[in-house]
Structure 1
Amino acid sequence: MAQPRISKAKRRKIAIFLRCLGISFVAWLLFAVSNVQLYVIKAGISYVNIPENKAFHPLQSDTVSIKMKMSGWKIFLRKMNPDTPHIQVDLSGLKTRNYIVFTNQLGYINRQFPVDNQVIAVSPDTLFFDFSKQTQRKVPVRPLYDIQFKKQYGIIGDTKASPEYVTVTGPLEDVANIEFLETDTIRGSNVSADIRTVAYLNKHQKNNITIYPIFSEIMIPVGEITEKVVELPLKVENARQYTSVRTLPSKVKVTFLVSLKDYNKWSSRDFEAIVDMENWEKNKVQSLPVILTQVPEYCRIISIEPQNVDFFVRK
């Protein structure tokens, strides 16, 4: 059966209808994104103007809900790229009470956002704090780094921090548990020279402690490295009950990376390789794995040949 043809007049009417529908949708979309709407976001909190000689514990989560007036377009962009902002909370009011009311700080909080984003409420509206005895303690700085080196380069010495120790102040029970403070991660790629940088210390979201100073200068010695091979005699451990134990071979070759400046510093006397007979007694293995029990600092082992050795036992 032949399909009825649509006349040119009908096709024109359909085209006009679809064009009007598209224009209406675009107009509605522009109106929606330009219209101011209420939007709720999650935000982390940090504290400023902490009263001196007072240590405190927050009695609620360090995340709050913020109700804001935003344009539809900004809401759309935030949904496309969601993040968790941080707001600062002024604790100067804790000098006379143990709670902070967000309603009294809306002006201060709004100054932390763009002028066209208006904060109208924060939930919970009140933050409560428990005060405790304050103490101080000096703890060492531990640098963190994620560095990619240029080929044949690497760390060739001790990483140094200046200052090596910082002062932590806060509640006794919190400060007592801090053994060290890590820096923010120091990153680098294709590195072939010493790294000297300033890294801020990471509180690990402990907002009720203060650190002085808040940063440390970090120096990481970097230099050219090369391969070196040493031959080590094998020592046998846990073999007192046997008359003799002989390994085949009696020596192993160890290949390691070492800095050029220390190439002649390390020799076979600075390494130790053993096999443990206890492994044979317990597991009845056919060969013994070679274990390195002594390796100089900043020497990176590449290979041990052989990794397992045969042995003969005389009881």
Structure 2
Amino acid sequence: MAISFVAWLLFAVSSIQTYTIKAGISYVNIPEQKAFHPLQSDTVSVKMKMSGWKIFLKKLQPDTPHIQVDLSGLKTRSFIVFTNQLGYINRQFPVDNQVVSVSPDTLFFDFSKQTQRKVPVRPLYDIQFKKQYGIIGDTKANPEYVTVTGPLEDVANIEFLETDTIRGRNVGADIRTVAYLNKHQKNNITIYPTFSEITIPVGEITEKTVELPLKVENASRYTSVRTLPSKIKVTFLVSLKDYNKWSSRDFEAVVDMESWEKNKVQSLSVILTKIPDFCHVISIEPQNVDFFVRR
């Protein structure tokens, strides 16, 4: 029985079987001067012939592959038939994985007016810095704007395009990289150019402390309002090259009497209403102050 089981197992993993997987779709050879809306999901079922061993591995590590769909046929009609593209689709898979059919077999499209718009590039990043290092200036994209082409109703809703996430670990120097733009699964739009060169200035940072006078807001109905203390200390992180650039004149701290009038609080919270760019506040002392009011 053991020998029969092993023989059956070897036969099962070596024989060719039919297996169905889910696959995302993307579009190539999009006709110029035509904008379209797919009228179905961007995921299809692909029926394939492959060995039992590969099916076993697929079940252990399931994934969702992507297949490209040739849209050149939309020049003369409003639908694409997968049966007519099986040869093209099979070339996108290993030779021992044969695509038999795709469901649904027909993709339908709705055409609409095409338009163009320039939108800004917004870099995304997830960066961990060396100790006492950080971003010390504006992140720049080149180009800053890209051209989006597609259906009017889709393009009108795009205010900006994000890049793929730029990642870095233990970073202690400027980052210069090329990042591709993310369509956010909008397959019916085109972007030119499809990437942008991103520069992120990185430098050494240090702590600095300044003393600020407190301003009192919404105190016009009172003869006088005095806070205790009348000044606070703000500690922030700043780049070494800008250490002498920022002083107490570049910050502003206020307390608001409305919080006392509405909520009858015993002390007033300190609010920073003005902070220089790329200065990261790490502490305010004190965070709340007592006050005296003369009506």
TM class, shorter-length? over 0.9
Are 2:172 and 1:192 aligned? yes
2:261 — aligned with what? 281
Cα drift, residue 104 of structure 1: 0.1
Cα drift, residue 70 of structure 1: 1.4
Are 2:126 and 1:146 aligned? yes
Task: Provide the TM-score with structure 2 as the length reference.
Answer: 0.98
Amino acid at match of 1:93: G
Structure 1 residues 95-137: Cα deviation after superposition (integer angstroms, max 9, x where no partner)? 0000000000000000000111111000000000001111111
Whole-angstrom distance in 2 between the partners of 1:25 and 1:66: 31
Amino acid at match of 2:17: Q
Whole-angstrom distance in 1 between the partners of 2:56 and 2:49: 13
Whole-angstrom distance in 2 between the partners of 1:29 and 1:279: 76
Cα drift, residue 28 of structure 1: 2.2
Are 2:247 and 1:267 aligned? yes
Cα drift, residue 29 of structure 1: 2.0
Amino acid at match of 1:68: M
For residue 107 of structure 2, give the secondary structure of its aligned residue in structure 1.
strand
Cα drift, residue 77 of structure 1: 1.0
Cα drift, residue 242 of structure 1: 1.1
For residue 23 of structure 2, give the secondary structure of its aligned residue in structure 1.
strand
2:6 — aligned with what? 26
What is the aligned counterpart of 1:122 among 57, 82, 102? Answer: 102
Structure 1 residues 195-219: Cα deviation after superposition (integer angstroms, max 9, x where no partner)? 0000000000000000000000000
Whole-angstrom distance in 1 between the partners of 2:236 and 2:274: 13
Stretch of structure 1 that moved more, 72-81 or 92-101: 72-81
- The Cα RMSD (Å) is 0.8
Whole-angstrom distance in 2 between the partners of 1:148 and 1:30: 49
Whole-angstrom distance in 2 between the partners of 1:251 and 1:40: 71
Task: Provide the TM-score with structure 1 as the length reference.
Answer: 0.92
Are 2:109 and 1:133 aligned? no
1:173 — aligned with what? 153
Structure 1 residues 54-77: Cα deviation after superposition (integer angstroms, max 9, x where no partner)? 000001111101011111111111
Whole-angstrom distance in 1 between the partners of 2:5 and 2:294: 92
Cα drift, residue 41 of structure 1: 0.7
Whole-angstrom distance in 2 between the partners of 1:26 and 1:308: 77
Whole-angstrom distance in 2 between the partners of 1:273 and 1:33: 72
Whole-angstrom distance in 2 between the partners of 1:248 and 1:208: 62
Whole-angstrom distance in 2 between the partners of 1:240 and 1:259: 39
What is the aligned counterpart of 2:136 among 119, 141, 156? Answer: 156
Cα drift, residue 243 of structure 1: 1.1
Amino acid at match of 1:102: F
Cα drift, residue 25 of structure 1: 2.9
1:1-315 equivalences in 2 (<5 Å): 20-21=1-2, 23-315=3-295
Whole-angstrom distance in 1 between the partners of 2:249 and 2:4: 85
What percentage of aligned pairs have identical amino acids? 88
Whole-angstrom distance in 2 between the partners of 1:275 and 1:27: 82
How many residues of Structure 1 are paired with residues of Structure 2 in the alignment? 295
Whole-angstrom distance in 2 between the partners of 1:103 and 1:192: 54
For residue 234 of structure 1, give the secondary structure of its aligned residue in structure 2.
strand
Whole-angstrom distance in 1 between the partners of 2:199 and 2:128: 16
Structure 1's unaligned 5+ residue stretches are 1-19
Whole-angstrom distance in 2 between the partners of 1:224 and 1:165: 30
